[in-house]
Structures are given as structure tokens and as C-alpha cells.
Amino acid sequence: YNTYNAPVVQCATGAILPDRGDTMSLLSVRVYPDPSLRKPAAEVTVFDRDLNTFIRDLWETMLAFDGVGLAATQVAVDLRVSVISWKENRLILVNPRIVQAEGEQLGDEGCLSFPGIFEKIHRPQKVRVEAQDADGKPFSIEAEGFLARALCHEIDHLDGRLMIDHLSPLKREIVRKKLLRRAREERNNP
Ligand code: NI
């Protein structure tokens, strides 16, 4: 069982997302409890230049913040789009959905919308995901281990679900307080 054995979209910037001379912009990543993180994203139906530009910006933003993945909901864009960059895996996921999941794993998880927070979270060990690429072409991937975790995390985002939803209410409250305290400190010492 390979990390993935179905066609994977290699989306290194400049490869399948050609630089069309547009200005690249870094997007503003929303931090919990920003309400946009809770809004389920709308299905992508138009695969045009605007979508490609947005995906490129999303990709660059993920890299700029040293993230493994980033979902459109995290930059308050109402589209089912997410990107993942982990080891040799560079994925653009448009309208992704988990069609199969098996097993279980427990491991550390972080999120650009929860800065400084790492929590042990249960996820399926293996998943099969169907999605479309930036041009609307369908593909599917099978992943296990950390990549399966990242796929679940990103698809959760597109449904308005967050990593803390997988924690016990007590743990969730601890994380929430930690983030509020940090936000307060940052306001006091900008
Ligand atoms: Ni996240």
C-alpha cells in the first residue's frame, strides 16, 4: 500500500498553475474563533482564470506561513478548495470528498488557524479521496498515515469543521482559552 497509488496532481507553482504574469497576493489567514472558519464552503462549478489565480494565492500563502495545508475557508473564501504540500505530495483539491476511510490513527495535529496549538487527534489510518484539479479534471488518491490525516483535516475545513471539534469539551476549552490569552497578549504587545 503506497502513500498514494492513483494519479496525483503535481501542482508545484509554475507547473500546472502557470505564471500568467498576475500579481501574486498573500491572503489573510483567519484565526480561531473567526466565524468564517465555521461556514461550510460552496461547491466549485466554474473553473476559470479567477479560480486558478485564487489557487495560486492560496498555495503561496500556505508556503509563506510554512503550512502543510490550507483551505479556502481559512482565508474567508467560500469555495471548496484546499491545497496540501507535504514531502513529495503537492495537491490541489477542488470539491474533495472522502469516499472511503478505514482504520484509526492518533497523532499530533496543528493548523494555521490555531497558531502554536498541537493536539493529539484521532483520524482514519487510510482514506480514499475524490476531487477535481484546478481545471475541473476528476482524480482520486489513496493515502495513509500523515497524508490521510492532512486530507481529513482539510476536508473538515471545507465543511466548517475544525481540529478542536475532535477534542473532548474540556480540552477544547483549554485550547480556546490559550488562543484568547495569546490574542490578548498580542494586542498588548504588538
Ligand atoms: Ni487547518
**What DSSP string runs through 26-57?**
PPPPP-TT-GGGGSPPPPP---SHHHHHHHHH
Burial of residue 159, with CB atoms counted within 10 A of its CB: 0-12 exposed, 13-18 middle, 19 or more buried: middle
Distance 7 CA to ligand 1 centre (A): 24
- DSSP three-state, residue 186: helix
Distance 15 CA to ligand 1 centre (A): 25
Q: Which residue has the cell 478548495?
A: 81
pLDDT per residue over 68-92, tens digit each?
999 999 999 999 999 999 888 889 9
Confidence of residue 110 (pLDDT cuts 50, 70, 90): very high
Confidence of residue 159 (pLDDT cuts 50, 70, 90): very high
Distance 23 CA to ligand 1 centre (A): 25
Pick from 102, 47, 51: nearest CA to 72? 51
Query: Does the pTM exceed 0.85?
Result: yes
The verdict on whether 142 is a catalytic residue reads no
pLDDT per residue over 12-32, tens digit each?
333 344 444 555 678 999 999
Catalytic position from the list 154, 173, 185, 186: 154
